[in-house]
Amino acid sequence: MKNRDKNLKNTTDDILKKKNIGEQERNKLWWEAHPMTYEDWDKQRELRIPKSKKDFLKVEENFLNGNPFFRGFDFGAFKNKKVLEIGCGSGAASCLFAKGGAKVVAVDITKEGVEMTRKNANFQNLKIKVLRADAKNLDFPNENFDYIFSWGVLHHSQNTIKAFKEVSRVLRKGVSGLIMVYNKNSLRYYINGLNWLILKGKIFKGYNLEKVQDFYTDGYYHRHFTARELKKELGKLGLKCDKIIITHMGTKMIPFLPKFIILWLKDHFGWLLIIKFKKE
C-alpha cells in the first residue's frame, strides 16, 4: 500500500478502535489528524501546517490550481454580501471571498481549521469571523446568509442530510449557494474501488464498494452522491438546483491518455460533484 493510503487508513483504523465516542467526534478526530492544506497526505502533520503568510499564500495557490473549477469563479461577486463558508480548512476560500469584499463567516469542526483560518485572515489583514461548529448544528438564526459555500466538506459528515437541512435553514430565501461533494458516478469511485475490492481482495475481508473507499479517500466518512441523489435531497429542502457541474482536481487523471480525452472524462466522470442551488 502507498504511504499516503497507509497513513489515511491507519488513522481511520485507530479511530475505529476507540470506544465510547460519538460518531461526529470520530469525524473531528480524523480531520484534526489530517488538516486540509493541499499538502501531500503522507507528509508529517507538522510539516503540512502553514505557518507564515508565504505558506498561506502557497496554500491559496494550490487550492486554486488544484481545483480548475475556480478558474471561472468570481470571488468578487459577493461584495458586501454575508457569506458563510462551511468547513473552511486552511481558510483559502474564505480569504478569497473576503478579498472580494464579502462579509465572511467561516466555520470548521476542528480546532486546527479554526486556527489556520484565523491566522490566514490575520496575515492577509482580512476581517473574517471564524467559529468552531459542526455543519449539522449551526448556531445561526434562520435566513441569516446571502450565500453559502461548502467545498468538499458535507460528505464527510456522519449525517450529511442533517447538514443540508442546516444549509437550507440559515440561507435567505431567493439567494443561492454552492456545495461540492464526491461524485459516485466517477472513475475514481468505481475503478479504484474495484481495484481495492477485487484485485486487492478486500471483498474477502467483508468490504464493499462504499467501505473500501477507506483505503484511499480522505475523511472518516466519505459519502458519495450521484447528481440525481444530490439534486433530490437538496430539492426536498427547498434548495432548487440551478446547475450541476462534474469536474476533477488538477491532477493527471490517467497519465497516458491525450488531453482532450482526459478533459472529457473529467467533465463526465470526474470525482467532484458541484451543485449551484437557489433557496425557493
Ligand X SMILES: C[S@@+](CC[C@H](N)C(=O)[O-])C[C@H]1O[C@@H](n2cnc3c(N)ncnc32)[C@H](O)[C@@H]1O
Interface with ligand X (CB under 6 A):
27, 31, 36, 63, 86-90, 92, 107-110, 113, 134-136, 151-153, 156-157, 218
Of 73 and 203, which CB lies nearer to ligand X in the complex structure? 73
What's 208's DSSP letter?
-
Q: How far is the CB of 259 from ligand X (least distance, A)?
A: 25
In whole angstroms, how close is the CB of 111 to ligand X at the nearest point? Answer: 9
What is the nearest approach in angstroms of ligand X to the Cβ of residue 246? 17
Residues sharing a CB contact under 8 Å with residue 277, sequence separation 6 or more, in sequence order: 176, 177, 178, 179, 234, 239, 240, 241, 242
Structure letter (DSSP) for residue 19: -
C-beta pairs of 251-255 under 8 Å, 24+ apart in sequence = 251/66, 253/187, 254/187
| Residues linked to residue 182 through DSSP beta bridges, in sequence order | 224, 272
The number of beta carbons lying within 10 Å of the beta carbon of residue 205 is 10
Burial class of residue 122, CB neighbours in 10 A (0-12, 13-18, 19+): middle
> Toward ligand X, which CB reaches closer, 197 or 275?
275
Pick left, alpha or beta for residue 129 (phi over 0 → left; psi -120 to 50 → alpha; otherwise beta): beta
Give me the least distance between CB of 97 and ligand X, in Å please. Answer: 12
All cell numbers assigned to 103: 462579509
Nearer to ligand X, 85 or 202 (CB): 85
Min dist CB 197 to ligand X, Å, is 24
What are the residues whose beta carbons fall under 8 Å from the beta carbon of 116, sequence distance 6 or more? 35, 37, 49, 50, 56, 89, 90, 91
Phi, psi (5° rounding) for residue 119? -60, -45
Q: Is 187 helix (H, G, I), strand (E, B) or coil?
A: helix
CB of 94 to ligand X, least distance (A): 9
**Shortest spacing between CB 205 and ligand X, in angstroms:** 27
